[in-house]
A and B are shown apart, each in its own frame.
Chain A
Amino acid sequence: MSGSRSPHLELRQVERFYHAGRPEEVRALRGIDLDIPPGEFVSVEGPSGCGKTTLLNVVGLLDSPTAGEVRWDGRPVGQRTDRERARMRLQGVGFIFQRFYLLPTLTARENVELPMRALSVPRAERSRRAAELLDEVGLSSRADAFPHQLSGGEEQRVAVARALANRPGILLADEPTGELDSANAEAALDLIERVRRDRDATLILVTHNPDVARRARRHLAMRDGRISADQREA
């Protein structure tokens, strides 16, 4: 399993409206233009409801823009079929959610193996790789535990291992420390940063916490569905 190379991400005049044309219309993203080169670590900050998660969903192909274009390495991907986008997510994107979203009926090992099973990775290979990943996140001894038997910090580490299962080029983390205490939050961020660096993956990290955002090299600020600031550190 070679893994996917980080693509160059481009958003051109991307808009995402919910209930478009109705009185209750919500304009979650408005005219977003964004370029993210491969391997960049980007933080997205902003108040609740400013469109951070929607931006992440559109970049990660969980959602389609109402207008505009999303490109990976110059190829438009935003309007592809559900099936194609699912395949691209499976191979190219690793998601780390605030609430971890591990499958409760699967063990830690099975959760990590799941994306590989969907890619038909041979059993021995995925078993070996899941063991490696769980070892990397320090959970070798908890491989057979179910999510409800894990602490929040452990659950998030399993979620990180699962996100890395298919060696994605893009890591999308939505408030990954939102449900963790400060010690676990620090550890989780260290882990995410390390695995990003080791794999040279693009990492987009959504947070409302300035201390977390400071770890990134590029900082986006959002307000009312628009990017209000875009700063790169030297």
Chain B
Amino acid sequence: MKRSRRGAALRHVRLQQVLAIAAIATAVALPVVLLSVGGGVSAHELSNLQNAGYQIVLSAAGDHGILAAHNLTHRLLALASVAAVSPVLSVSLDAYGNSSTPTPVLAEGVIPGEFLATLGPAEAGLFPSPLPLGDPSDSIHFENGSYTGPAIDDVLVSSPFAQANRVAAGASLVLSPAANRSLGVRFNVTGTFGVPPTALGPTGAFAVLVPLSDLQVLSGLATGSHGVTDAADSVEVAVSGSVTTNPTALESIRNEIQSLYPFYGVTSLEQEAQQLQSASSVLTGFYLALSSVGLAVGLLFLALVQVRRVESDRRSIGIRRALGLPATWIAGGLMADGLVVAGAGALAGVVGGYLLVEGLAKWSSAAVQEAARLAVFVPVTLSLLVLAVLALSVLASVAAVRAALRVEITEALR
């Protein structure tokens, strides 16, 4: 009878231990997923920034806030150490190919000769070189801001768009600023460009590339009531030679551009990378804080299990103490039990988190899959996480150790 009761008690303790392991595993899996995916996406973005072909970017508040983009380009190109200046205008358009149904596309207006020079090696490989968009400087149609020169009306389309709309080089495509074909302009398709294999990449799958002045005219951003607008959304600046790897020289050029255009935001990618890293650190802290709640619950559960175990092992503890076993042995045994449970939970959490990320990379929505595929498992971070759990498990065992050392031997053996 006593043995069956003891067996039931042992099973109860084991069940509690399994539950504690599950609680800790869940609490550990959460930061593993958040840190690996969040860190992976951040690292990817950081890599994009670091591998971009430009180092400084000008931006303005609101849409299409950069004015006199062609003139600005010429002024910046005149600066020492500036290799390329690429204004970019992004506008949503409707495209009419072989069908009368429009396809929404993101049109990017660029100066063909400058655009390729501001792309990183990976991105540059996606485009034909030179860009088959006619006038490399886009100055003929622009004609010093009068837009009276002959329009090029050439367009490069992305491969997914070309496939989806059965459009190939030599075909024509009507691009319209509204869902009305008659408001559109007929463009000649001169080729296609690839898109990066990730949805998190900078280029949209359904995009077209046109000369900047053509897009400005088409979208009404060439001139306004106050004269020439010559609008763009941003201007990317590539520096030359050793300046790219010299933060001081880069900052000097950035300051120079900022002094020329104090009303625009002038940021170096170095700064953006730092901001991204700072944001990433804040997010990591947030993830850890969020996870610490789960971890606290898991460890409180462990503490409870340990104290309950002392209660159910009261007699065994009494026997050990009666035999004269040192208190450090009894404390060490409980600590070791706590460490085993916490360690098992932490390892299960790491493995579970890894498997969860792998699962998300295979069986979730496209965007989540992309993010999960970028996940980075940093051994040092995971080891620190496990060590933190082990350290906290020692704290969680303190109450149990105190209870064990307060067991009255004669009471326990009664």
Contact = CB atoms under 8 A, between A and B. Distances in A.
Nearest to A88: B324
B326 A86 contact: yes
A63 B316 contact: no
A101 B324 contact: no
Interface string B374-414: 00000000000000000000000000000000000110010
B324 A87 contact: yes
Contact of A57 (B315, B319, B410): B410
Given A62-B410, A63-B410, A104-B316, A83 B326 contact: yes
Given A63-B410, A118-B329, A93 B6 contact: no
11 contacts: A62-B410, A63-B410, A86-B324, A89-B323, A93-B324, A101-B319, A101-B413, A114-B323, A115-B324, A118-B325, A162-B323
A101 B315 contact: yes
A90 interface: yes
A137 B329 CA distance: 28
A229 interface: no
Nearest 6 CB-CB pairings of A with B? A90-B324, A89-B324, A86-B324, A118-B325, A101-B319, A62-B409
B410 A115 contact: no
B79 interface: no
A86 B325 contact: yes
- What is the predominant secondary structure among interface residues of chain B facing chain A? helix
A102 B323 CA distance: 11
Interface of B: 3, 6, 315-316, 319-327, 329, 409-410, 413
Contacts of B329: 118
Contacts of B410: 54, 57, 62-63
A115 B325 CA distance: 7
Contacts of A87: 324, 326
A86 B327 contact: yes
Contacts of A82: 327
Nearest to B324: A90
Interface in A69-116: 82-83, 86-91, 93, 95, 97, 101-105, 114-115
